[in-house]
Structure 1
């Protein structure tokens, strides 16, 4: 343990996701040895982010304006809505350059163990958005894990009565992977989602 403010810094850094005690200690000592101008710039950016960045009033993506750039873009496909768990998922999908529709960020996934139920997510806002007669398809792009699957199943049940086409991202084997290293669930999904050979 270190004295006073150094230990406080290590403790605060350790609260960041993915940063364990050793990493927090390394980052803290890096900051102590860094040029003061660099540390002030980092502190300034952190304060600026907290002051300027908010959530889009339409899709709940991060934005510096009332609505994000994707919601403001008139070239985006208005009839398809992709539902994701977190705003970082929007970035991942955008990098593919395959999707040209709009998004809805839930703010997490259903996880009873963590005390997160449907009421803690932006599902009510999603259903309100689907009152727009222009939307014809909802793509559920939740993570392929237990929580993501539970969320997708719940959403499918909620959205099916609305008469919309509800789809789920395909899942299965990664390109460049070996069958012998695939787990049973992934391999099972690859079989279930097979398509005609081209």
Structure 2
């Protein structure tokens, strides 16, 4: 299973519960962080710590200096993702939602969709933001048994998540759970599903 995020903390925020659940079930989980735009050393350490809590392998497009998603030409981003997809050969891929209000999240979404053009893998999208898409959707992951792991991973991102913000993520997962009849859930949008 392969998950793509624009920055450290995006995957933990939008899909950390599902990633923890899959890893706990024996799946090999690979998290791709596309860029670390600031506070490089600190956020790199946070990314490594967050992935470790979830039980995931961390892949960084660049691990030697700060960069932004916009620093990559789209063809280059797709080419880099192509190589990762070819190496991992995932059966499930998770990407940012196209409706995400962050421009760099949208760029990652487009590049992932392009990189999946020749791959036979299920593709779903998550919201890393706090808008309505974060709790409204058509695909739910029951993360009740993994909510504490998700929040522990988020807590590793101290530059981005205060204690109050981490607890707000618990509330968001609880609200999503109410939508589908479980204690805690994460919401996804199916982009391509093979039955």
**TM class by shorter-chain length?**
0.3 to 0.5
- Give the structure with the higher percent strand: 2
Q: Determine which structure has more spread, i.e. the larger CA radius of gyration.
A: 1
Q: Per chain length, whose mean CA-contact separation is higher, i.e. which structure has more relative contact order (CA < 8 Å, sep 6+)? A: 2
TM-score (norm 1): 0.38
